[in-house]
Amino acid sequence: MADVILRNISKRFGTIEAVRELSLAINDGEFLVLLGPSGAGKTTTLRLITGLESPDTGSVMIDGHDVTHDPPGSRDIAFVFQQYSLYPHLTVYDNLAFPLRSPARRVPEPIIRKRVEQTAELLHIASKLNNRATRLSGGEMQRVAIGRALVRDPAIYLMDEPLSSLDAKLRSELRLELKRIQLELGATILYVTHDQVEAMTMASRIGVIKDGQLLQLGTPREIYESPSSSYVASRLGTPQINFLPARLLSDVSVPPETETVGIRTEHLKVGARNGGRMVGRVHRVEHLGEQNHVHLDYKGEMLVTLADPHQQPLKAGQEVELHLVHPLCFDRAGRRIPA
Ligand code: ATP
């Protein structure tokens, strides 16, 4: 496998700056996830790496070679798209074999057979090899699409929301499988998504991207625990992190320039009134089965926390004391102020 280095790449479409001076190194064997909302520049970044777009400025290096001006075909990259792009009239076997059968490659048929069978085993679709692609479920089709990238054994895999068209159950199954396969193969993957769960569960590192800019790069834990801004903090965590104007705090000391504090749901504790100064009122309790969310009104701000299963159940209208365990402090511009 190989590493990929993007140096200061920018790409503009008319007045839109799709990618802005983005620098990023994807290490050999790494599963790097670019996480960002729609229009953040994720797909454009992938297309710049493949050569389907060329950057206005900056360079793309793959395995130590500057490929910025090389044509797409010459870059040893496999791309998995959001929509499975299979040949419907071909069997699963022939779909998987297709990338190896190009005249330029001249891979002998016995080797093709071996690679196709190995890939099908890895993706748990070995029993479907003789099925027409159209006879598969959505999850199986997407496995074949991923398989078509895997058979080639490229230097790097680029994946553009490959699980987003699947239902929740299949998505979580394939998340686990993709991670397992990546570890087994030691594959280098750049994966883009707007789904924070995919980012948290699969990434060795996450790059948070917005408006074409890389805001923060770090392990899932670093990004979750030490977000560089309130925006980054809001991208990870369900329910979303609570924000509270610092002026409403009592009993909590924060650096003087703090404008807003962020409190993750697990860091907001509620209990019976016992002399504390932060008193809120239960607005609503949502029962989700394995978890209950408690919505609270504190001085007109809505906050959410997780109900403690060992405590007396809370009821709407009840007054409770709030305790903030680990507030994250942000300045007026939303930048994190280290504690
Ligand atoms: P999504 O999650 O919706 O796919 P994204 O993060 O992948 O979004 P991009 O597709 O990279 O975002 O688009 C970034 C910005 O560039 C958007 O504002 C988009 O409209 C614009 N853009 C992308 N490709 C083109 C193009 N060929 N011509 C004009 N504008 C483009």
pLDDT digit string, tens, across residues 14-24: 999 999 999 99
* 37 Cβ contact partners less than 8 Å away, ≥ 6 residues apart: 194, 210
| Span 168-177, pLDDT tens digits | 888 888 898 8
CA 242 to chain centre: 21
Which ligand 1 atom minimizes the distance to the CA of 194? Answer: 2
CB neighbours of 34 closer than 8 A, spacing ≥ 6? 42, 45, 190, 191, 192, 193, 206, 207, 209
Rounded to whole angstroms, how far apart are CA atoms 222 and 114? 41
Per-residue model confidence as pLDDT tens digits over 22-77: 999 999 999 999 999 999 999 999 999 999 999 999 999 998 999 999 998 888 89
- Residue-averaged pLDDT of the chain: 92
Provide the 10 A C-beta neighbour count for residue 295. Answer: 15
**pLDDT by residue (tens digit) across 122-153?**
888 999 999 998 888 888 888 899 899 888 88
Q: Do residues 131 and 143 lie in contact, with contact meaning Cβ atoms separated by under 8 Å? A: no
pLDDT digits (tens, 9 = 90+) for 107-117: 899 999 999 99
User: Nearest CA to 107 among 156, 171, 157, 152?
Assistant: 152
User: What confidence score (pLDDT) does residue 308 get?
Assistant: 83
Instruction: Give the model's pLDDT for residue 153.
Output: 82
Residue 47 alpha carbon, nearest atom of ligand 1: 11
94/128 Cα distance (integer angstroms): 11
Q: How far apart are CA 243 and CA 302, in angstroms?
A: 9
What's the whole-number mean pLDDT along residues 80-104? 87
Q: Which atom of ligand 1 is nearest to the CA of 43?
A: 7
Q: How far apart are CA 222 and CA 204, in angstroms?
A: 11
Mean local confidence (pLDDT), 220-235: 97
Quote the ligand 1 centre to 213 CA distance (angstroms).
13
Question: Could you give all domains of the chain from N- to C-terminal order, each with its CATH number?
Answer: 4-228 (3.40.50.300), 242-337 (2.40.50.140)
Residue 244 near residue 305, CB atoms below 8 Å: no
